[in-house]
């Protein structure tokens, strides 16, 4: 049965953050609110949690997982970023963007897009997510919580708990969130290609 963890949206209680992070460190899978809707989150090396994400989402090895990072120092450990790309990304973060970049050796192969060896990364503005990642001390492996047959991310904790009661260890609640996809920019080839327009202004990468 999934635990329900209530975290204040503006001033996250350390005790509640610690509870969620302890579950992640123990290999658990949690559902958490982000600035683009609910997501599934786990530790990078948690193979069982990764398998459950794929099962819940019904995705294959072409699916791009997203590493939510706390800052650029952390992001730079997991993806290759040259100076030009760095400047472009720096100007748009934190913010509602996901960047697809070549993964470094720090990223487990099973998390990379199978053919291109890339992974998605982002630095969000959501206070609770940033608190969780800061306490975890490493990027959080995530996938937007869109159930099979749906087109939008889930948006409220109780609906998530009802749907995934036996699929996740915990559901984090910090209030309802608006499902608003990030703008996805692919830097796989060193130049920006906007592959999905979302909440972030795509003109920054035109």
**In angstroms, rounded to a whole number, what is the distance separating the alpha carbons of residues 52 and 58?**
9
Domain that holds residue 88: 3-205
- The 10s digit of each residue's pLDDT in 122-149 is 999 999 999 999 999 999 999 999 999 9
pTM, two decimals, is: 0.94
pLDDT at 112: 81
Alpha-carbon 21 to chain mean position: 15
Helical residues (DSSP H) of 61-187, grouped into ranges: 72-78, 83-90, 127-136, 157-163
pLDDT band at 109 (very low <50, low <70, confident <90, very high): confident
Domain tally for the chain?
1
Contacts of 53 by beta carbon, 8 Å cutoff, 6+ apart: 29, 40, 42, 59, 65, 141, 143
For 185, phi then psi, to 5°, come to: -120, 125
Specify the CATH number for the domain of residue 159: 3.90.870.10
**Confidence grade of residue 108 (pLDDT, cut at 50, 70, 90):** confident
| pLDDT confidence of residue 61 | 74
Q: 195, 184 in Cβ contact below 8 A?
A: yes
* Cis-peptide into 94, omega within 30 deg: yes
Averaged pLDDT score across all residues of the chain: 94
| Contact (Cβ atoms closer than 8 angstroms) between residue 40 and residue 168 | yes
Token output for 17 = 């953050």
Distance CA 173, CA 185 (A): 29
Q: Considering only CA atoms, which of 7, 11, 202 is closest in space to residue 97?
A: 202
Write out pLDDT tens, residues 66-107.
999 999 889 999 999 988 898 999 999 999 999 999 999 999
Query: pLDDT at position 132, please?
Result: 98
Q: How far is CA 172 from the centre of its chain?
A: 14
């Amino acid at each position: 049965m999934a635990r329900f963890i209530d975290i204040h949206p503006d001033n996250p209680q350390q005790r509640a953050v610690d509870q969620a992070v302890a579950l992640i460190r123990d290999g658990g899978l949690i559902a958490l609110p982000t600035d683009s809707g609910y997501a599934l989150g786990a530790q990078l090396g948690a193979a069982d949690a990764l398998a459950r994400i794929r099962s819940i989402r019904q995705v294959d090895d072409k699916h791009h997982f997203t590493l939510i990072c706390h800052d650029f120092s952390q992001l730079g450990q997991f993806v290759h970023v040259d100076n030009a790309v760095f400047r472009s990304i720096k100007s748009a973060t934190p913010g509602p963007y996901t960047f697809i970049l070549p993964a470094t050796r720090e990223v487990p192969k099973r998390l990379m897009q199978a053919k291109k060896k890339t992974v998605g990364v982002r630095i969000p503005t959501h206070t609770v997510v940033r608190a969780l990642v800061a306490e975890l001390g490493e990027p959080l492996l995530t996938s937007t919580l869109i159930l099979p047959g749906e087109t939008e991310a889930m948006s409220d904790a109780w609906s998530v708990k009802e749907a995934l009661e036996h699929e996740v260890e915990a559901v984090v609640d910090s209030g309802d969130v608006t499902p608003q996809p990030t703008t996805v920019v692919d830097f796989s080839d060193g130049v920006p290609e906007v592959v999905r327009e979302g909440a972030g202004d795509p003109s920054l990468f035109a």
